[in-house]
Amino acid sequence: MAGSGRNPGHKTPGRNLADGGSTAMRHSLPGFLLLSIMGSAGAEVATPTIADNTAGQGFFDTTEIVPAGGNAAILRGQARLNAVLRAALIYDRHIGFSASPLQLRISAAALGGSATSATLAYAGPAYMVAGFPGSDPDTAYPIALGNDLKGSAISPGADDITCTLNQDVDNATVLGAVSWYYGFDRQSGTDIDLIDTLLHELMHGLGFMTVLQQDGSVPPLPGSATRDVFMPWLEYHGVGQLTDP
């Protein structure tokens, strides 16, 4: 059974890593690209669907750029896509997706901001699941984590994680002269490393998030679940544990 969950976004990127792998185009349709990412052992790692059908925008941005840090793209949209693929490969190398290829739905949108502040991206599970074999019946899990615990895809082909990037970071209005850095080499300088940001956001989609609201309420969860898998690890500062383990 399924519910929904999403991280509202963040304004600071995480840590960068670098790794190898390959990609293979599966097929393309108007409005989105569907690709298959292959790991170093030849197994399928992730299938990102690029949901972005605006010509000249997002992952279809044809602005010419100088290749940087091992990302050979000369068009901005392709550089963004290459960064997404690299982030998925990094997670496969360091965590591994043993149950099934990770299904990513990623878009780039004009999220705006100011000269000093902007939401870089936001991401989260496509939905929550509960009541599958091996799960705690009182607990809801992000679908990607549920797949891994079950050992197979709970809903084959369905999205596991959704992620939206702020394409406005590349213009002069948002964050001034600061732009996205698309290289793979951790040499972003004063710019913002897109792979850092993707690693941070995709981790929310993998389960480092909670549906708990600031007022302590919990939205409806699937099945008989009363909490998500992250809630037992939350505490009020100076008050004690928020939920029973």
Q: Which of 63-72, 153-162, 177-186 shows the lowest per-residue confidence on average (mean pLDDT)?
A: 153-162
* CA pseudo-torsion sign 122, 125, 126, 127: negative
User: b vs e for 173-188, b when ≥16 Cβ sit within 10 Å of the residue's Cβ?
Assistant: ebbeebbbbbbbeeeb
Question: How far apart are the C-alpha atoms of 185 and 170, rounded to whole Å?
Answer: 19
Q: What is the arithmetic mean of pLDDT over 113-130?
A: 95
Q: In this predicted model, which residue has the larger pLDDT, 16 or 118?
A: 118
Quote the number of domains for the chain: 1
Residue 99, pLDDT score: 67
Give the residue numbers spanning the domain of 102. Answer: 2-241
